[in-house]
Amino acid sequence: MTPRNRTKAWLLPASVAAAMPACGLATQAQTAKATTAPPGMVSAAGATSPLSLRQAFEAAWARQPEALALQARRDAARAQQGAAKAWTPEPAALELSNKTDRMGNNNGAREVEVGIAVPLWLPGERGSSAALADAEGAAVESRAIAAQLRVAATVRDAWWQWQRARIEVGTARDQLDNTRLIAADVARRAKAGDLARADQHQADGAVASAEAALAQAEAGLAAARQHLRALAGTAPALSEAGDTLAEPDPGAAAADLEAHAALQELKDRAAVAERTVALTANQSRANPELMLATTSDRGARGEASQQTITLGIRIPFGAGPRSDARRANARAEATEIQAQLALERERLIAEREAARVRVEASHAQLAAADRRAQLARESRGFFDKSFRLGETDLPTRLRIEAEAAEADRQAARTRIELSAAISAWRQALGLLPQ
């Protein structure tokens, strides 16, 4: 009997392409485009074209709160930069006053004053505010990229769980088909008197066991599919076509550690904290105010009004404990982020090395698994022929069939694990799905 290998039609290839550059931060146009269901997604109405890992990631990112609020954060950062470049730290204020010694009539003395109060920058405050606004603008972008990478990690995990589940279903179906063929052959030979009825029961039991394994595998596939659906918004197609490609192996083109999105986010947060410290140092008191006013006054009704002009400045005293508290909080934030940055750098170094070793081990495991599967298939062919000739008993034939099915399953699973290991390596390097 020729073994069936339908699973191989949709398994990931063992070899992968050369490294590709990291995917940058999605633009707003891309984000808006990703809100619609990409190819490879299905709705409740039915399946469409196959889904890719990158499409699943883009769909998942478009649904994230960080993506939806990104443009608003950019607008806020630009507004803050504009405020830092203004001539005054706060808008000017209009002052109006009317003094009289007789309420309710216009007979007595009257004084009318119209003035304007203009807040002034403290020494160094404007430059510190501009530097802080620039740092906050950069932090918005690095925060978005880091959020993308976190979403990518979740999508990658769900994606490869789905691929593992597909492998399990494919190999379970192949095993069921093969055991049914064996059972049909045993039934024919038992009817002819060549085999005992006990052999028929044993063959039918193997079929029942394979059916149970397939049902369990299909349940796992449904769960993995729904998990991916929860992330991307819609479910992937159920097609068994070759719709899955491995991500490129980064190889020697591994990205620089310091360019990693997680580190860059912390660096930008640290810059914001440090510039906040500098700003609070310059804001030791409230802003002074330049005042310009004109006053018109008369002694009594009918007398000529006298016009005067007042030019003054209002200088507040020091802010005291409140300013000290803001400065202390800013310094604490800066210290905490610097410590986080050091820990994150060490974690990423370890994660990168572990991911690289995992890829190397997966290559070796795949070679061994493919060799084992090839030998198991050859043995299955030998024993199938021997069983048909009556030289091998049924238990031995079923055992060889089970071993061959397990070898095929392990080889297919190892291919998925290799691709998952490459994907995890790219994740550790800070590269988005390709």
Say which range, 121-125, 254-258, 291-295, 340-344, has the weakest mean pLDDT: 254-258
Q: Which residue has the higher pLDDT, 32 or 197?
A: 197
- Does 9 have pLDDT greater than 60? no
Tell me whether residue 117 is in a domain: no
Region 168-175: mean pLDDT is 91
Residues in the chain: 434
Q: What is the mean pLDDT of residues 188-194?
A: 85
- Closest Cα to residue 76, out of 147, 139, 145, 148? 139
CA gap 82, 72 in Å, rounded:
15
Tell me, yes or no, whether 98 lies in a domain: no
Q: In this structure, is residue 301 part of a structural domain?
A: no
- Per-residue pLDDT at 280: 85
Q: Which two tokens stand for residue 397?
A: 């034939």
Range with the largest mean pLDDT of 150-164, 379-393, 394-408? 150-164
Give me the chain's average pLDDT, please.
81
In a domain, 94, yes or no: no
Axis-axis angle for helices 261-282, 321-388 (nearest 10)? 180
Q: What is the pLDDT of residues 369-395, one digit of tens each?
A: 999 999 998 998 888 888 888 888 888
For residue 18, the model assigns a pLDDT of: 32
3-class state of residue 68 by DSSP: helix
What is the rounded distance in angstroms from the CA atom of residue 214 to the CA atom of residue 145? 41
Convert the pLDDT of each residue in 218-267 to its tens digit.
Answer: 999 999 999 999 998 877 765 544 445 678 888 765 668 888 899 999 99
Return the minimum-mean-pLDDT range out of 151-160, 192-201, 364-373. 192-201
pTM of the model: 0.75
Range of lowest pLDDT (15-24, 235-244, 245-254, 284-293): 15-24
pLDDT attached to residue 239 = 52
CA dist 51 and 431 (Å) reads 20
Please, what's the largest Cα pairwise distance for the chain? 138
Least confident segment among 30-44, 116-130, 160-174, 332-346: 30-44
pLDDT of 31: 37
Instruction: Look at 393 and 13; give whichever has higher pLDDT.
Output: 393
Q: What is the domain range of residue 351?
A: 6-87+124-283+321-429
pLDDT of residue 57: 93
Q: pLDDT: is 195 or 366 the higher one?
A: 366
Confidence of residue 361 (pLDDT cuts 50, 70, 90): very high
Mean pLDDT (whole number) for 199-205: 90
Within-domain flag for 409: yes
Q: Quickly tell me which residue has 């993308």 as its tokens.
A: 148
Q: How far is residue 104 from each of residues 100, 101, 107, 177, 434, measured CA to CA in Å? A: 10, 10, 9, 104, 79
Query: For position 263, what pLDDT does the model report?
Result: 92
Q: How far apart are CA 42 and CA 233, in angstroms?
A: 10
pLDDT(333) > 60: yes
State the pLDDT at residue 238.
58
Identify the CATH number of the domain in which residue 162 sits.
1.20.1600.10
Supply the pLDDT for residue 345.
93
Predicted pLDDT at 123: 87
Q: Provide the pLDDT confidence category of residue 35 given band limits of 50, 70 and 90.
A: very low
Torsion of CA 87, 89, 90, 93, to 10 degrees: -60
Residue 302 lies in a domain: no
Query: At residue 2, does pLDDT exceed 70?
Result: no
Question: How high is the pLDDT of residue 297?
Answer: 84
Q: Is 249 left (phi over 0), alpha (psi -120 to 50) or beta?
A: beta
Tokens of 143: 């925060």
Q: List, for residues 48-81, the tens digit of each pLDDT value.
A: 456 788 889 999 999 999 899 999 999 998 998 8
CA-CA distance, 257 to 120, in Å (whole number)? 44
What is residue 30's three-state secondary structure? helix
Query: Terminal CA-to-CA distance of the chain, rounded, Å?
Result: 41
- For the segment 352-359, the average pLDDT, to the nearest whole number, is 92
Percent of all residues in the chain with a pLDDT value above 70, rounded to a whole number? 82
189 to each of 181, 261, 388, how far by Cα in Å? 12, 66, 9
How would residue 25 be classed by pLDDT, with cut points 50, 70 and 90? Answer: very low
- Give the position of tokens 């620039």: 134
Looking at the structure of the chain, the number of domains it has is 1
Give mean pLDDT, residues 33-62: 61
In this prediction, residue 254 carries a pLDDT of 61
Domain membership of residue 184 (yes or no) is yes
| Structural domain includes residue 305 | no
